[in-house]
Amino acid sequence: MKICVFTLGCKVNASESESLARALREAGHTVTEKLENADLFIVNTCAVTAEAEKKSRQTAARIRALNPAAEIVYTGCACQKDPAAFLKKSNARLVTGVFDKGKIAAMLEDSGVKIAPERKDFEEMPAPETRRARQYIKVQDGCDNFCSYCIIPYLRGRSRSRAKESVKKEIDGAACAEVVLNGINLSAYRDKNTDLAGLMRYLADTEKRVRLGSLEVRAITDDLLSALKNMRNFAPHFHLSLQSGSDKVLAAMNRRYTAEEYLEKVSLIRKYFPFAGITTDIIVGFPAETEADFAETLALAAAAEFSDIHCFPYSPRSGTRAFALRDLPPAVKKERLERLLAVKENCRAAFARKNFGRAEKAVIEEEDGEYFVGYTGNYLRVYVKKALPCGEIGVIIKETFRDGVRAEIEGE
């Protein structure tokens, strides 16, 4: 049978879908991860924002346009939140949540709703098949933080982590140049007495480039940074979610750090990795965010010299504490978002300039016309005008180009 596994949302969902695709291939099915005609569709949904949830539901119409007779299995966070909304879709065969995704292949004979009970252990899934230069490796699931705007802890359950031996085995078996360790809350990684710094020490000799997914402010310590510094091939890129530069808004978000602490951690990162790429997420227009609060966010974003900013307007999520707060008018959020996008472009350009003339290692991932395109360790998107095999190569950063920089191969 030809099965399409279509994924929305975060990198954790992407890792889970790749594992699921492997299990289906091993069961003898032909699998595509592009939304194209198939006999059966498995949609791995997302509920992180109202928009993501809406797009998850709208996938049904896109599939009907491709194949009106195809049956659809819905899984993931949006189904965990509201299974009935998916079961009532025409052609819905099975609706499952976020637990026991690894059993979907075995469940294909079933129909109806199967929301598995919350798991307290880490669900091992088959290692994904590597078909890219970079592979995502899920090492943690769930979250205990309960940020006031976030629905994820209610859907994914409490934090649990993968055994370090299993993580190493998957990295060693992956046929790629770079692995990205990710989790819903990677900073909470704990396998018995091994925390995230301990995991990095355990993986120190890994030859493949190792990149980390999103980190919490409190996870940035001398212990973690020195463990990363001692790794054989660590990508010095830190995604450190800020969300707001106002202490008042951070407290209302239940983020458990202040703007000053955030900037201290940015300085600490640069003490160990002076050219680190530091990227962030910022929510614009959280309830009660005043113009003065937002000005603090803009000032912090400029002071932190981010290499990139992922910014988006606040969207209320039913079931969260912040849902009861009065939402700001959309026009206010839109206007603030535009100002933050201008800061983002300045930050991106300044970071590119800081790297001009520097030697970096780039992992080439794809072709774009006459260019080969990849990423440096500090996460600059690099265009190299030369035919290369995929893998890691030395480059010299030259100038700003398209959405990244142009580089030349080192030594040529």
Residue range at the interface with ligand SF4 (CB under 6 A); choices 143-151, 268-276, 344-352, 357-365: 143-151
Name the residue among 366, 363, 361 with its Cα closest to residue 396.
361
249 binds ligand SF4 (CB under 6 A): no
Residue 228 contacts residue 196 (beta carbons within 8 Å) = no
Of 60 and 77, the one with the shorter C-beta distance to ligand SF4 is 77
Residue 143 contacts residue 39 (beta carbons within 8 Å) = no
Of 130 and 221, the one with the shorter C-beta distance to ligand SF4 is 221
Of 38 and 147, the one with the shorter C-beta distance to ligand SF4 is 147
Name the residue among 11, 8, 94 with its Cα closest to residue 51.
8
9 binds ligand SF4 (CB under 6 A): no
Helix (H) or strand (E) run with residue 305 in it: none
Of 279 and 378, the one with the shorter C-beta distance to ligand SF4 is 279
Helix (H) or strand (E) run with residue 295 in it: helix 291-304
Residue range at the interface with ligand SF4 (CB under 6 A); choices 98-106, 139-147, 160-168, 301-309: 139-147
| Side-chain half-sphere CA neighbours of 143 within 13 A | 22
Residue among 185, 246, 355, 376 that touches ligand SF4 (CB under 6 A): 185
Residue among 12, 77, 147, 240 that touches ligand SF4 (CB under 6 A): 147
152 binds ligand SF4 (CB under 6 A): yes
Burial 80-89 (b: 16+ CB within 10 A, else e): bbbbebbbeb
Of 24 and 184, the one with the shorter C-beta distance to ligand SF4 is 184
Neighbours of 289 (CB within 10 A): 24
215 binds ligand SF4 (CB under 6 A): no
196 binds ligand SF4 (CB under 6 A): no
174 binds ligand SF4 (CB under 6 A): no
Residue among 91, 130, 145, 194 that touches ligand SF4 (CB under 6 A): 145
Least distance to ligand SF4, CB of residue 243, Å: 8
Of 285 and 377, the one with the shorter C-beta distance to ligand SF4 is 285
Of 11 and 93, the one with the shorter C-beta distance to ligand SF4 is 11
Between helices 222-229 and 259-272, what is the axis angle to 10°?
Answer: 30
Residue among 76, 83, 153, 213 that touches ligand SF4 (CB under 6 A): 153
Of 281 and 392, the one with the shorter C-beta distance to ligand SF4 is 281
Helix (H) or strand (E) run with residue 396 in it: strand 391-401
23 binds ligand SF4 (CB under 6 A): no
Maximum distance among all Cα pairs of the chain, rounded to whole angstroms: 61
Contacts of 292 (CB under 8 A, 6+ apart): 246
- For 412, the token pair is 């040529």
246 binds ligand SF4 (CB under 6 A): no
256 binds ligand SF4 (CB under 6 A): no
Interface with ligand SF4: number of residues (CB under 6 A):
9
What's 308's DSSP letter? E
CA distances from residue 344 to 250, 330, 393 in whole angstroms, order as listed: 20, 21, 28
Question: What whole-number distance in Å separates Cα of residue 191 and Cα of residue 100?
Answer: 20
Contact set with ligand SF4 (CB under 6 A): 143, 145-147, 150, 152-153, 184-185
